[in-house]
Structure 1
């Protein structure tokens, strides 16, 4: 049986895991038959043992509301903690096993749709298990919840030194805050410009180690700060990318990569500010002569917004070359100056390196709506189906490439996947005078399409259908003349395959040169190595034929 979130009992002989909305118990035997720990309505997940080992805290999602529950391993009963019409989630235990802290957000009203581009007010709650006494110890001052609590794997912690730590971006950046259980002494312990993506508390409970892009906005490094004072100090430095700090005993580990080395598990030697690979001990590194060291660049969009990107250019080539703009998906992502911590974007980074090696100049653009540059940048107005304001960042990236003496301004292409596929199609539809070829991987092409696809998470109302269509590539097909390679797996659970079916048929009807790579039974993130290989081989061949 498959599952997730494994959690071992103290004796190490059994463990809990979540599957299909229930929590199961199993031994470690190969042919063990997992049994439900309990049966309850809703989607039950995130089991956490109490420090005394007698109870299991969990979340039960009921759709329009959710509960936090405590299951007793002794009495075999469930105690629902302060049930309400709200969304209660992400519970954690106090050190004495007598209380829990959790996040509370409003329940979902009739007709209310998910919209990840807006914020959600949230409260930090503390409840005594035995008495049921509940207190909101802190409330967000505005619509500052949702993303900060959902993007991080563990956005709330109760330390053994009796401080509650939690993510919030009410100051404009996703930071870690420390507060007493009674709601006093709130402190931002990761101050300054920069995002925090994850953190871990050290064994003493006195410090946190966190990853983020403070002082190096195009990478990630590990930092240390006291849970009581705002005094961040760098733990890793340099050209590497270090993510996901975690302790095993007193040893600190992370995931590390660089511009020419794929990610590895590394042990951090704090005194030397080094991350030493331990698995594999000899990481896959590529000859520096084959890779270019991407350059951090900035440029301004038409409305004056400063946009960051990474330029891949082989300066040993003296002749002019084609330029290619790359757009990530998400859109809540950020490309970096090295192999990405996400497998999908690590592969895309490698392909951008290949293009640079083969005589292209590639500009990977971190358009607005992405992470890494603060809440306002991510939550920019009129984005996506409500105006596509971020598309001007793509045009600005292309014009930046055209301004380079090494680039042939008449040979600009673009490519991207998912949201990047959407922006690829936008470029070909809106600006044929700039973009001469594009590769669109599983992109959204009609935001008004009322299907089970990515449009649902934007909270689009029927009254917004016309605006959504105007913000889509299909609204400007009359101008589309450039050739395109369309790639899509037909078992895509993120972007409906029909988005590609519809666009291809429309383009064929107007005699646009459409090349197609359909991957039967493949999903959004391409599970098979063969799929990635076919996609990148086809993409390079396409650009070679259309831009060189």
Structure 2
């Protein structure tokens, strides 16, 4: 699904264990149950630079022989391509580049890795290939106005498919090339500007591609596409708007593992018989259940259950549909490799993190033993004492239940003196998960209470909730954010005169909307690449994001009043809070014109505003020196305007 985001429960939770079995079973949290843990050995404020020495990795993929893992790491301060042995040893940086790299895929012989790379954050990716031994990469696509992404090899390694999107068009199509010396050609030719294609798996004989065609944010079908003719057969034809998403085909080619929200708008896992097109439902939950992948023998498959921002991996017996978490530790768990987390011996690579521990890769053996593969935490973080997040639920202005994660510093008294920062997420079709959050850690280690709500419009709670802010961006969803502050007030911890807000992308939009519409509530704000004016967004942002914007706000001509009422531009001159604006110069999602407008208006009004524009950065900052600067400036801003402290420690 396209996200403006623009950035961008660990068992099947049941009420008997004190957890809600679905969004509808949540109950409002007693504010006094929110605690400040006592800790006599609290550490000093977490240093920004030291925190960012913690390594982030992503895009991991198995080599064909299962002996190596290719992955993207920021260990050098850039998102570059690395390889390591299956046990995590022998890590080697294959490429050094200022530009971001992503989506590595081994060739069938294991000698090369294909990956994507953009230029200065422009998201116009080319595909490259580089030897696993290192050396000069070669550009496979070499296009200036087309973005090629998500390379996927056929089972026999003779074909490579990938997404292809023209800069001026909104739709992504599927392209293929024969490997290693073929010429790329389009397999799909989408005409609907609201629709895009995504290849998810190959048939074993390389004759077909299984792909998803999405229309807007609420409708999708799964197709089987003939590679030679381009003929596409719809395997999930339906009436109305339903999302049908495939993840993988079984090793015998007979069954597709899928996610569908056909059951009342809630995402559930289903097995589709390719020949008969009959469905066999695996889950029936109102939490978010997403299909994973098949084991090499095809006797097991996985799905991920996201229950209120906490995720577990479930291993399911194909015959009985009985599921087990196989003892994977509690936390936020997701598959650790793409396109398959399984290795041929049946072992399984997964990523594990929680609110106080950075993501690491772990290997679950076929016998059930769990082994740590990576060691990503910096020494400072590993030795630090940090309070865990607390999941809370509160009622908003209209009685709607809102979930949020709250961080409370150690040893805080209920005397109403603690400063607080609200962290709205990106999207709006996104969700704050119970993940490792550098922003929250930096703030809570300095005495700030932090709350990150999943307001209406968030994913993870069903389609009705996801669409509850349609044509009302910055309206009721902003009231949900404010209700979070009201909830924290009743805990007794916070000072309502020391409230800040810090968000990026749609969270940046929410920040600007908040300080404009409710100027007396906020004492400080940090806006990172946020939207000020939906009309200038339509004029300057990427074509795909323009279509996404219309799914949120309607037709820009017929719904002019909606666009105007939902733009912070209408309210920003009423703001009072000191505002810090941070922006990438080459952001194609929220172009820098949005930030420049905010700064010019507030400077003209004589308000307290500062801005930084980071060169060669797109939507979000990936260069470590820019991340250090971003976080240092932001924390300093809140220290100064919420606590009266001029410098962080």
TM-score by length of 2: 0.70
Deviation, 1:210, is 2.8
Question: How far apart, in 2, do the equivalents of 1:400 and 1:437 lie?
Answer: 19
Aligned to 1:256: 352
**Bigger mean CA offset, 317-326 vs 228-237:** 228-237
Aligned to 2:490: 403
Deviations 1:5-55 (A, max 9, x none): 55444333456556778767776575567475999x986665544444555
CA contact (8 A) 2:528 2:583 kept: yes
Alignment of structure 1 residues 12-161 onto 2, 5 Å: 12-14=110-112, 30-31=134-135, 34=138, 36=140, 48-56=152-160, 63=169, 89-90=198-199, 92-104=201-213, 118-120=217-219, 122-126=220-224, 135-145=233-243, 149=245, 155-161=246-252
Aligned to 1:367: 455
Question: How far apart, in 2, do the equivalents of 1:451 and 1:299 lie?
Answer: 38
TM-score by length of 1: 0.81
Aligned to 1:313: 408
Question: How far apart, in 2, do the equivalents of 1:160 and 1:380 lie?
Answer: 40
CA contact (8 A) 1:329 1:417 kept: yes
**RMSD over aligned Cα atoms:** 3.7
Indicate the SS of the match to 1:445.
coil
**Bigger mean CA offset, 236-245 vs 433-442:** 236-245
Aligned to 2:515: 428
CA contact (8 A) 2:527 2:582 kept: yes
Indicate the SS of the match to 1:435.
coil
Pick 1 or 2: higher relative contact order, CA cutoff 8 A, min separation 6: 2
Task: In structure 1, list runs of 5 or more residues that go unmatched.
Answer: 107-115, 150-154, 340-348
Quick one: which of 261, 265, 268 aligns to 1:175?
A: 268
Indicate the SS of the match to 1:224.
strand
**Bigger mean CA offset, 279-288 vs 488-497:** 279-288
Is residue 492 from structure 1 mapped to residue 615 from structure 2 by the alignment? no
Indicate the SS of the match to 2:512.
helix
Task: In structure 2, list runs of 5 or more residues that go unmatched.
Answer: 1-94, 118-123, 644-649
CA contact (8 A) 1:448 1:466 kept: no
Deviation, 1:223, is 1.2
CA contact (8 A) 1:269 1:275 kept: yes
Is residue 191 from structure 1 mapped to residue 284 from structure 2 by the alignment? yes
**Bigger mean CA offset, 230-239 vs 405-414:** 230-239
Name the CA shift for 1:72/1:291 in 2 (closer, same or farther; >3 Å): closer
CA contact (8 A) 1:189 1:232 kept: no
Aligned to 1:109: none
Is residue 523 from structure 1 mapped to residue 618 from structure 2 by the alignment? yes
Deviation, 1:99, is 4.0
Question: How far apart, in 1, do the equivalents of 2:237 and 2:456 lie?
Answer: 28
Name the CA shift for 1:282/1:408 in 2 (closer, same or farther; >3 Å): closer
Deviations 1:293-341 (A, max 9, x none): 11111111112221111111125122421222111222233223341xx
Deviations 1:105-145 (A, max 9, x none): 57xxxxxxxxx5x423x433335667988643322443233
Is residue 532 from structure 1 mapped to residue 627 from structure 2 by the alignment? yes
Name the CA shift for 1:66/1:508 in 2 (closer, same or farther; >3 Å): closer
CA contact (8 A) 1:236 1:270 kept: no
Name the CA shift for 1:96/1:532 in 2 (closer, same or farther; >3 Å): closer
Is residue 332 from structure 1 mapped to residue 390 from structure 2 by the alignment? no
Deviations 1:360-381 (A, max 9, x none): 2111112222222222222224
Name the CA shift for 1:32/1:490 in 2 (closer, same or farther; >3 Å): closer
CA contact (8 A) 2:309 2:433 kept: yes
Deviations 1:133-175 (A, max 9, x none): 8643322443233xx75xxxxx432211321122332322333
Name the CA shift for 1:516/1:229 in 2 (closer, same or farther; >3 Å): same
Aligned to 1:483: 578
CA contact (8 A) 1:419 1:443 kept: yes
Is residue 357 from structure 1 mapped to residue 448 from structure 2 by the alignment? no
**Bigger mean CA offset, 409-418 vs 167-176:** 167-176
CA contact (8 A) 1:438 1:485 kept: yes
Indicate the SS of the match to 1:458.
helix
Question: How far apart, in 2, do the equivalents of 1:188 and 1:368 lie?
Answer: 28
CA contact (8 A) 2:584 2:613 kept: yes
Question: How far apart, in 2, do the equivalents of 1:484 and 1:65 lie?
Answer: 36
